[in-house]
Homo-oligomer: A and B are copies of this chain.
């Protein structure tokens, strides 16, 4: 099972460093986790992820369940082997996908019935099945199936979603404790059709399960959700349902309220966030883990991150620009290529463009987190934060 130890705390903020120990190695927090929805962080190789110093990546339960499917992943003995990644993997439960692909999903107390966005075939996720699939994926950190809502949502909608989320969290946790936590026989995971699919607790390796706090944009509901989940005693806690369309200030307000409610001796994860500014602000609130498609998706749209802010590589001003994206950046892309070349590749829709842009953006995010960790360790996180904002050209 997962262990977490806080290494150093910042004096004047809640920022902290720590170490999460998993079956696939240690993770130094606070961390940013690149998103590899379908078993690949889009356009980059696992070697390039390591060059960017990625410590852990995300997989998505909903997407991997549909494609390639549990039969394939279990046959190859887990997502790590399948995609040739030997560091930790966290898997999202699919809750967010049922929200974002809501037209295809029907919620009940029991679980979620849905139609595949690929071929329209019918499927059902229960909290137990979400854990089981993640065990088959061989995830190091599994997420409870949650009921995610958008913004705006009424208080009663938010309450309903949080109540369902707590009930599902308990069911998933019970399933995990009985089927995954202890050594199990290969016949003890039984809800999937073929007995040959049944994993021994993630291929014999200990794994972990996090609860997800919901409650919409209502502070009192966030408090209730946190309290109920803490009662269940998860190995770690996530804040879900943020970055779903609300203004940044509201997101900060809810995070500021919610994060301190979570146990300080467990990892705290804010899901789906965010911009570099969001990361720094939330590290200051005591958040340990982040994930977001922003660096990789924006890279594929030509938006590149620098300390001064973002640039769009298709800009005509870069046509004859022989400088790298950022002269101070140590990534492969900046060490090897000019903005003029990157602009040309991007405008010509050359496949290499997506890779080179993604490497730069992931390096930027991961290097930012590394600098944040260092500044906390060195006791000058507040100074670092100030410098970060002073460099930004608004």
Q: A75-83, A176-184, A307-315, A361-369: which lies at the B interface?
A: A75-83
Given the known A-B contacts A71-B320, A319-B68, A320-B71, are A351 and B76 also in contact in the complex, defined by CB atoms under 8 Å?
A: no
Quick one: which of B43, B67, B320, B347 contacts A348, CB cutoff 8 A?
B67
Across the interface, which residues of B come within 8 angstroms of A274, CB to CB?
Answer: none
Give bound CA distance, A68 to B322, whole Å. 13
Q: Which of A18-53 contact B (CB under 8 A)?
A: 38-40, 42-45
Q: From residue A337, how far is it (CB to closest CB) to chain B in Å?
A: 6
Given the known A-B contacts A71-B320, A347-B67, are A43 and B337 also in contact in the complex, defined by CB atoms under 8 Å?
A: no
Q: From residue A1, how far is it (CB to closest CB) to chain B in Å?
A: 28
Assess whether B340 is in contact with A68, with CB atoms less than 8 Å apart.
yes
Identify the interface centre among A44, A320, A348: most chain B CB within 10 Å of its CB. Answer: A348
Name the residue on B nearest A74 (C-beta).
Answer: B320
Across the interface, which residues of B come within 8 angstroms of A355, CB to CB?
Answer: 45, 351, 355
Number of copies of chain A assembled together: 2
Across the interface, which residues of B come within 8 angstroms of A39, CB to CB?
Answer: 341, 344-345, 350
Name the residue on B nearest A344 (C-beta).
Answer: B68
A230 at the interface (CB under 8 A from B): no
Q: From residue A128, how far is it (CB to closest CB) to chain B in Å?
A: 25
A7 at the interface (CB under 8 A from B): no
Assess whether A320 is in contact with B72, with CB atoms less than 8 Å apart.
yes
Give bound CA distance, A312 to B135, whole Å. 31
Across the interface, which residues of B come within 8 angstroms of A42, CB to CB?
Answer: 350-352
Assess whether B45 is in contact with A344, with CB atoms less than 8 Å apart.
no
Give bound CA distance, A71 to B351, whole Å. 23
Given the known A-B contacts A84-B337, A337-B84, A338-B82, are A72 and B344 also in contact in the complex, defined by CB atoms under 8 Å?
A: yes
Assess whether A351 is in contact with B43, with CB atoms less than 8 Å apart.
yes
Quick one: which of B319, B322, B344 contacts A38, CB cutoff 8 A?
B344
Assess whether A341 is in contact with B75, with CB atoms less than 8 Å apart.
no
Across the interface, which residues of B come within 8 angstroms of A354, CB to CB?
Answer: 351
Interface residues in A, total, Cβ within 8 A = 34
Given the known A-B contacts A71-B320, A84-B337, A340-B82, are A43 and B76 also in contact in the complex, defined by CB atoms under 8 Å?
A: no
Name the residue on B nearest A336 (C-beta).
Answer: B84
Q: Which of A126-170 contact B (CB under 8 A)?
A: none
Give bound CA distance, A39 to B347, whole Å. 13
Interface string of A190-218 (1 = CB under 8 A from B): 00000000000000000000000000000
Q: From residue A58, how far is it (CB to closest CB) to chain B in Å?
A: 15
Interface string of A71-103 (1 = CB under 8 A from B): 110011000001110000000000000000000
Name the residue on B nearest A320 (C-beta).
Answer: B75
Give bound CA distance, A282 to B337, whole Å. 37
Across the interface, which residues of B come within 8 angstroms of A76, CB to CB?
Answer: 320, 322, 338, 340-341
Across the interface, which residues of B come within 8 angstroms of A45, CB to CB?
Answer: 352, 355
Give bound CA distance, A155 to B70, whole Å. 62
Q: From residue A359, how far is it (CB to closest CB) to chain B in Å?
A: 10
Across the interface, which residues of B come within 8 angstroms of A348, CB to CB?
Answer: 38, 67-68
Closest 10 pairs (CB-CB, A-B) = A43-B351, A68-B344, A75-B320, A40-B350, A40-B352, A38-B348, A84-B336, A82-B341, A42-B351, A76-B322
Can you name 23 A-B pairs with beta carbons within 8 Å?
Answer: A38-B345, A39-B345, A40-B351, A43-B351, A43-B352, A44-B352, A67-B344, A68-B343, A68-B344, A68-B347, A72-B344, A75-B340, A76-B320, A76-B322, A76-B338, A76-B341, A82-B338, A82-B341, A82-B344, A83-B341, A84-B336, A351-B355, A355-B355
Q: A45-B355, A72-B319, A72-B320 are in contact. List 5 more A-B contacts (CB 8 A).
A: A39-B345, A67-B348, A72-B344, A75-B320, A82-B344
